[in-house]
Amino acid sequence: MNKRTCLALVFCLFFLWAISSNLLPTMIRQLMKTCELNAFEASFTESAYWLAYFVCPIPIAMYLKRYSYKSGIVLGLLLAAFGGLLFFPASEFVVAQFFYNGGQTAINSLFLVYCCTYVGVEESLATPAYRN
């Protein structure tokens, strides 16, 4: 698989991950209706979502320093999958949301760095938009 095909695949996957992140407000409203939660109780779901962005980057960076970008992206996918599997019992929704977004944080943090490293900064700056 050449570099362009690989990056196109990763960009498409990144777009799908972004869609799942943008569904949070709709999901919270439906959760409030389904589980009969008030606004205060439903806010725990959103706070778990954003707390993962605050808590997860440092452990992810430590993992990245010890291993590689590819294994970091795989770790992010596994965390997101684990969080997705936790949604099935539906009793630990906030914990599931935290793990899912922890995986999203890993993917978002490592994606740009991996692409710049994989393609190379010089090669990406050689596109017509960046030429002098």
Q: What is the pLDDT of residues 63-110, one digit of tens each?
A: 888 887 778 888 888 888 888 888 776 667 778 778 888 888 887 777
Query: Considering only CA atoms, which of 59, 41, 40 is closest in space to residue 103?
Result: 59
pTM of the model: 0.67
Q: Bigger pLDDT: 77 or 1? A: 77
Q: How far is it, in rounded angstroms, from Cα 52 to Cα 49?
A: 6
